[in-house]
Amino acid sequence: MRHAKPSTIYLKDYRVPDYLVDNTHLHFELKPKATLVKSRLKIRRNPAAGEGLPPLFLDGVDLILLSIAIDGALLSPEHYEKMPQRILVAVDKPEFFLDIQTCINPEDNTTLEGLYLSNGMYCTQCEAEGFRRITFYPDRPDIMSKFTTTIVAPKEYPVLLSNGNEISRGPCEGDHHYVTWEDPFAKPAYLFALVAGNLQHLEDCFITASGRKVKLQLFTEEKNINKGDHALRSLKNAMRWDEAVYGREYDLDIFMIVAVDHFNMGAMENKGLNIFNSACVLASPETATDATFQRIESIVGHEYFHNWSGNRVTCRDWFQLSLKEGFTVFRDAEFSADMNSRAVKRIEDVSLLRTNQFAEDAGPMAHPVRPDSYMEISNFYTLTVYEKGAEVVRMIHTLLGPRGFRKGSDLYFERHDGCAVTCEDFVRAMEDANQVDLVQFRRWYSQAGTPQLTVTDYFDETLGTYVLTVRQSCPPTPGQREKSPFHIPLKLGLLDKNGNELVLDGQGTTQCILEVTEAEQSFEFTELSEKPLPSLLRDFSAPVKIDYPYSIDQLLFLMSNDSDIFNRWDASQRLAFLALSDLQQAYRTGGVLQLQPELIAAYRSVLLNRDLEPALVAELLQLPSEQSIAEASVHIDAEAIVAAREFALQTLAEALFSEFRAQYTALKVRKSFSLSAKDIAERKLKNTCLLYLCATETADALALAQEQFDTANNMTDKAAALSVLINHAGDKQVNAAIEQFYQCWKEDAQVVELWFGQQSRSSRRGNLSAVEKLIQHPAFDLKNPNRVRAVIGGFAKGNFSQFHRSDGSGFEFLAEQVITLDKLNPQIAAQQVIPITRWKRYTGDLARKMKIALKKIMDSGDLSGDLYEVVSKSLN
């Protein structure tokens, strides 16, 4: 299973499969340590693959092979060849039935791929290559087969689920029973799912646009049954939305969601039987924050939307992953924008992209949206494939407009329904439906790296013409030195000196999309009476960095006048970045740290502006995170970043204390809980004020936090108060709050994870020792990815100041944890190691210490393929 050097797989080596599997019959006899899996595959030579009868390849990992037969005749070992992760079967006819029996061990399966046990419940995870841990099978997405599944289990597992419709059930000998499921849609093996357990369920129904009734069920352990309503409500909203916006109806009579505690990812779109990480589906006001409610809505939507963008039309091979993931992230983002505040959703997504995807693009694992090689596909479920992939789809939407995009998606679904296709097929459908040429646009799929735009302008007063000159370039990435120009939609508006938008043509248009296609290109606007101020890259119309020499005054002007809400926020961020960069410089040279009075005044006017929506005020008041400041720096000086941000926060908090206090008090009014956009925004603004107030560490402010902690009627307010206490109160008060919270919520897995995460992220000096204690806590479990993400991820990805302590202790700690984790769950180990793989961007000693930690992992012996790929590429 482990190998020092896994091999690299290339897109250019893709070949159609030699054999097709028309039908797959599976029969499971569930036992914790020895589950018997019998499969019967109806196999036929692929007419598209050429002549002759080559051997049949079947993938298989960690399986015990019991028997193999063709058309009922048992094969003796000379008819097949066993290789490390596959078998090769000799074939002498073009069509046959293949019967295979294997034995697997769900209880000891800590990889959480294939079939495993989570709190006594059997469940599966087959994407991307987990099905090969269940039985020998041609485990590739371009083999689509009709599945029937029979599950036999003791009656203590009353609920036995698989894909499609239940077609029979009944008793078996010895207190056992069985259920058989049939999925009428052909699907790749990665969409197979099985669940067996003692579960309760909630039930609802949905009537489709064409009048079909669909049964909706949500399964969970009994103790969580009160936490499923929000997910079911979100599901119905998603079903309605996909009909309204894409004209897509659900296609089976039943749709099931199951919550499991042990899960590597957020959720999985198995046909008719979505499996969710409990943290991404269960919520009640007392236990879940607003952010969690919104995440649930978007993930439920995301997995549901895959039924068309992923299941009905799937990927030909895993290089095409963004075909389903990028498109579906775009779909779920639009769904969330329609359900909540569009501007806030956009701001959140762009922050994530800039902070984390840009970092990926600038790091050792940089890859195009459609990668051209990989060692382990599970390392390519990245922000580039997902979030940048979604931006690429969004750019097509921007270029074609909503109607043109809909024509393209209709053609795509119609042409390719039931097929396994490529990103190229997606783009071609968009082109063909709109008679446009996206040849150059395709570079977004094949070239890695974040393009950089530099914009300059010139105004000719006598002629009244305004010329914008745009230069683009893209830095080299591993394996790609030179890049060709991208096709970039640059949305913009021009503002006059009163903040009004200038008309850009004869028809009253005040916003346009420049199509930037050359390395350097100029655009001319005529008949202007004054030099305008450009509002560039509105709504973040392309995933690029853009540079224009804005003055502080111009940014302040945009921040209060731009009609594009996104760009108002972006102006506030640019201002903060400028100030933080000056502060870093002062810190490094031993100068005096100072915030410009204009900046403080700008924050004051945002805070006092009663015309702005609370949601936007809360966003405008956020200082960029340390991580995003790091990402925007050429060389990352962690100590200077922490000092600069801390100074800015303190200075604003002290200068605007009474304004923050007044706003906090105004929003503090007690009212019954609701999830309306208005209430969510008000809670966010209130808790932003509380954070600034407590940054002063005054008794007065901390008393407010304590009072909110004691009296909150929802987890958003409670958790916000706990967080500021943990970061700013004295030891006694902190310990009391931590202990009280734990005693109250120790039975609730999701709240315990929140509690772990807040402590790991605490910026108190020397917090590593607290994190080391958390690892020893009885509720911590290295086999549970959510706990690992909360404690280890919370520290390495969410605690910039303490993780980057100059003694390197944070990196050493991470290396040790990753080495242990790799023996249990390679996917999670490879996810957690990421922060130290970006060592090259750090200054001096930190870079050296990160590299030492990486080498320690490399030299620790037998690495999994997942971890080996990430660590070896970052040491190159």
Catalytic residues: 303
Dist. CA 409–CA 403, nearest whole Å: 10
The H or E element containing residue 176 is strand 176-182
Tokens of 79: 């008819």
Q: Which of residues 834-853 bind Zn ion (CB under 5 A)?
A: none
Binds 341, which of ligand BES, Zn ion, none (CB < 5 to 8 A, cut-off by type)? none
In angstroms, give the least distance from the CB of 277 to Zn ion: 13
* Cβ proximity to ligand BES, 329 vs 546, nearer residue: 329
In angstroms, give the least distance from the CB of 821 to ligand BES: 17
In angstroms, give the least distance from the CB of 760 to ligand BES: 20
Q: What is the DSSP letter of 77?
A: G
Binds 266, which of Zn ion, ligand BES, none (CB < 5 to 8 A, cut-off by type)? ligand BES
In angstroms, give the least distance from the CB of 378 to ligand BES: 6
Q: What is the DSSP letter of 187?
A: B
Dist. CA 734–CA 449, nearest whole Å: 43
Tokens of 490: 């640059």
In angstroms, give the least distance from the CB of 325 to Zn ion: 5
Beta carbons of 142 and 188 less than 8 angstroms apart: yes
Dist. CA 602–CA 693, nearest whole Å: 18
CB atoms within 10 A of CB 333: 23
* Cβ proximity to ligand BES, 375 vs 580, nearer residue: 375
* Cβ proximity to ligand BES, 266 vs 464, nearer residue: 266
Q: Which residues bind ligand BES (CB under 6 A)?
A: 127-128, 265-269, 298-299, 302-303, 306, 325, 329, 332, 381, 386
Binds 317, which of ligand BES, Zn ion, none (CB < 5 to 8 A, cut-off by type)? none
Omega before 128 within 30 of 0, i.e. cis = yes
Dist. CA 113–CA 90, nearest whole Å: 29
Phi-psi region of 245 (alpha: psi -120 to 50; beta: other; left: phi over 0): alpha
* Cβ proximity to ligand BES, 316 vs 483, nearer residue: 316
- The DSSP code sequence of 274-315 is EEEEGGGT---TTT--HHHHHHHHHHHHHHHHTTTBTTTBEE
Binds 299, which of Zn ion, ligand BES, none (CB < 5 to 8 A, cut-off by type)? ligand BES
Question: Which candidate, 771, 694, 700, 757, places its Cα nearest to that of 727?
Answer: 694
Binds 142, which of ligand BES, Zn ion, none (CB < 5 to 8 A, cut-off by type)? none
Q: Which residues are bridge partners to 88 per DSSP? A: 57, 81
In angstroms, give the least distance from the CB of 302 to Zn ion: 6
All residues at 6 or more sequence positions from 550 whose CB lies less than 8 Å from its CB, including other chains: 558, 571, 574
| Residue 459 burial class via C-beta count within 10 angstroms: exposed 0-12, middle 13-18, buried 19 and up | middle
In angstroms, give the least distance from the CB of 13 to ligand BES: 22
CB atoms within 10 A of CB 326: 27
Binds 562, which of ligand BES, Zn ion, none (CB < 5 to 8 A, cut-off by type)? none
Tell me, residue by residue from 611 to 640, as one string, x for binding to Zn ion by CB under 5 A and - for no binding: ------------------------------
Residue nearest to ligand BES (CB): 266
Binds 246, which of ligand BES, Zn ion, none (CB < 5 to 8 A, cut-off by type)? none
Tell me, residue by residue from 269 to 308, as one string, x for binding to Zn ion by CB under 5 A and - for no binding: ----------------------------------------
* Cβ proximity to Zn ion, 394 vs 804, nearer residue: 394
* Cβ proximity to Zn ion, 135 vs 328, nearer residue: 328
* Cβ proximity to Zn ion, 328 vs 799, nearer residue: 328
Relative to beta strand 95-104, strand 35-45 is antiparallel
Question: Which candidate, 794, 811, 793, places its Cα nearest to that of 847?
Answer: 811
Q: Which of residues 311-350 bind Zn ion (CB under 5 A)?
A: 325, 328
In angstroms, give the least distance from the CB of 235 to Zn ion: 15
Dist. CA 438–CA 428, nearest whole Å: 8
Binds 457, which of Zn ion, ligand BES, none (CB < 5 to 8 A, cut-off by type)? none
Question: Can you say how many angstroms the Cα of residue 786 is from the centroid of all Cα atoms in its chain?
Answer: 15
* Cβ proximity to ligand BES, 182 vs 348, nearer residue: 348
Say how many residues make up the chain.
Answer: 876
- Point out which residues bind Zn ion (CB under 5 A): 325, 328
